[in-house]
């Protein structure tokens, strides 16, 4: 199949994945795990998905120095020139800046999609159609385009994009507001209103506009480069960014775009999506067995149990009686049992407490 040579993808694979602790650990986070026993890790599945949409030589992968060797082992087909390694952890926006500048140096007409490495897509064809449509839209428009999906439940662990003005009768809307991880009652109001879409964390823009938006996210740093690089092209910023990476603020690409960029739009998509970053989202995604229990690549004998999500290491057997609405997760030296509810905040709380009391070996 012949793909558009101007279409590029940047896969973000540098996170620690602590929301799925203790199965996702700092030394080997979730994007490098075959979490569901499907035979491919989340990173590999994401790469496979985009390899069917655009030229493989146009797939860039970003990670932290700590995980660079794991990435190379899992994606040996990715050339070294397509791997962006953060020298220090600075969240996702600085790594996107480095990747965008690298792409600009190759192709100033590039259209780029930024994607996390830990997402589930139900309808691959619809996804490919939406991605190609988004890339075509930004090829002729200087906008930052978020890919949004209609919410199916009041999930407090996701970001919510409120639709504003519709553009020319298309599936693209101005972003009226953005709310990250609202309380469940607010999430319920958002879903019931019909005006809000989930933020998938995927953003599309032409590479020139990426350069413009990055300058609004990091004005103090990039103004230093601009003052000394008069007449130079955007692609010449790459060495400067690499040399000054530690000076960049700890900023996520989601926050940077929705809070600091003006011309942001959302394309309404319908490809069946889930963020595989939280225990609650994993539970909602997976097939429910008897009693609405979810067993993730796990053997278990359950009696009088319901509404649980259970993941143990391979070779272990769980025998559980009378448990309702819990997470049971075990990995190496940690067993975690917690009310499912809004588990994301509880996981963060316990990760911090365990790290302070017992040290990094348990994180």
Cα angle: 119, vertex 204, 126; to 5 degrees:
55
User: 307 and 299 in contact (C-beta within 8 Å)?
Assistant: no
**Maximum distance among all Cα pairs of the chain, rounded to whole angstroms:** 71
Q: In CATH terms, is domain 7-275 a member of 3.20.20.140?
A: no
- Residues 344 and 349: their CA atoms lie apart, in Å, by 9
pLDDT (0 to 100) of residue 52 = 96
Using CB atoms within 10 A of its CB, is residue 139 exposed (0-12), middle (13-18) or buried (19+)?
A: middle
pLDDT (0 to 100) of residue 164 = 95
- Residues 124 and 168: their CA atoms lie apart, in Å, by 27
User: 210 and 183 in contact (C-beta within 8 Å)?
Assistant: no
Using CB atoms within 10 A of its CB, is residue 263 exposed (0-12), middle (13-18) or buried (19+)?
A: middle
Write phi, then psi, for 27 (nearest 5 degrees): -80, -15
User: 57 and 82 in contact (C-beta within 8 Å)?
Assistant: yes
- Three-state secondary-structure class, residue 304: coil
pLDDT (0 to 100) of residue 228 = 52
For residue 15, give the nearest of 5, 4, 24, 6 by alpha carbon. Answer: 24
Give the CA-trace dihedral at 96, 33, 297, 289, to 10 degrees.
Answer: -10
- Three-state secondary-structure class, residue 229: coil
Query: How many Cα atoms sit within 13 Å of 19 on the Cβ side?
Result: 18
Length of the chain: 363
pLDDT (0 to 100) of residue 168 = 80
Any residues with CB less than 8 A from the CB of 4 and at least 6 apart, and which? 54, 55, 132, 135
Per-residue pLDDT of the chain (363 residues; tens, 9 = 90+): 689 999 999 999 999 988 899 999 999 999 999 988 889 999 999 999 999 999 999 999 999 999 999 999 999 999 999 999 998 888 999 999 889 989 998 999 999 999 999 998 989 999 999 999 999 999 999 999 999 999 988 888 889 999 999 998 789 999 999 999 898 899 999 999 999 999 999 999 999 999 888 888 888 777 766 655 555 566 666 777 778 888 888 899 999 999 888 899 999 999 989 888 889 888 988 889 999 999 999 999 999 999 999 999 989 999 999 999 999 999 999 999 999 876 777 898 999 999 999 999 999
Q: Dump strand ranges (E) for the chain.
A: 7-12, 59-64, 83-86, 111-116, 119-121, 144-149, 159-166, 172-180, 196-206, 264-269, 273-275, 294-295, 299-303, 309-311, 317-321, 326-331, 334-339
CATH 3.90.550.10 domain residues, the chain: 7-275
For residue 123, give the nearest of 49, 42, 191 by alpha carbon. Answer: 49
């Amino acid at each position: 199949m012949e793909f558009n040579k101007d279409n590029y993808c940047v896969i973000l694979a540098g996170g620690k994945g602590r929301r799925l602790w203790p199965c996702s650990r700092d030394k080997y986070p979730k994007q490098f795990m075959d979490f569901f026993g499907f035979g491919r890790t989340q990173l590999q599945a994401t790469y496979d998905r985009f390899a069917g949409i655009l030229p493989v030589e146009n797939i860039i992968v970003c990670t932290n120095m700590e995980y660079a060797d794991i990435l190379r082992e899992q994606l040996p087909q990715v050339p070294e020139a397509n791997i962006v390694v953060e020298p220090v952890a600075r969240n996702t926006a600085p790594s996107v800046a480095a990747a965008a500048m690298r792409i600009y140096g190759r192709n100033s007409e590039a259209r780029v999609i930024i994607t996390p490495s830990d997402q589930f897509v139900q309808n691959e064809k619809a996804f490919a159609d939406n991605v190609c449509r988004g890339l075509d839209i930004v090829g002729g428009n200087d906008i930052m385009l978020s890919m949004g999906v209609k919410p199916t439940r009041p999930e407090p662990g996701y970001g919510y994009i409120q639709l504003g003005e519709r553009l020319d009768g298309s599936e693209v809307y101005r972003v009226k507001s953005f709310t990250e991880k609202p309380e469940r009652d607010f999430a319920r109001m958002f879903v019931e209103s019909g005006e809000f879409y989930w933020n998938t964390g995927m953003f599309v823009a032409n590479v020139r506009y990426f350069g413009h938006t990055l300058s609004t996210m990091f004005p103090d740093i990039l103004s230093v480069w601009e003052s000394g690089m008069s007449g130079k092209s955007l692609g010449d910023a790459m060495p400067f960014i690499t040399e000054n990476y530690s000076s960049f603020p700890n900023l996520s690409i989601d926050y940077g775009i929705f809070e600091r960029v003006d011309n942001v739009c959302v394309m309404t998509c319908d490809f069946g999506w889930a963020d595989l970053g939280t225990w609650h989202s994993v539970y909602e995604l997976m097939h429910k067995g008897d009693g609405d229990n979810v067993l993730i690549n796990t053997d278990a004998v359950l009696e009088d149990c319901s509404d649980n999500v259970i993941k143990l290491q391979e070779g272990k057997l769980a025998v559980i009686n009378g448990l309702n609405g819990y997470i049971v997760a075990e990995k190496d030296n940690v067993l975690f049992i917690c009310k499912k509810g809004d588990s994301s905040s509880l996981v963060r709380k316990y990760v911090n407490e365990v790290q302070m009391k017992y040290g990094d070996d348990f994180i």
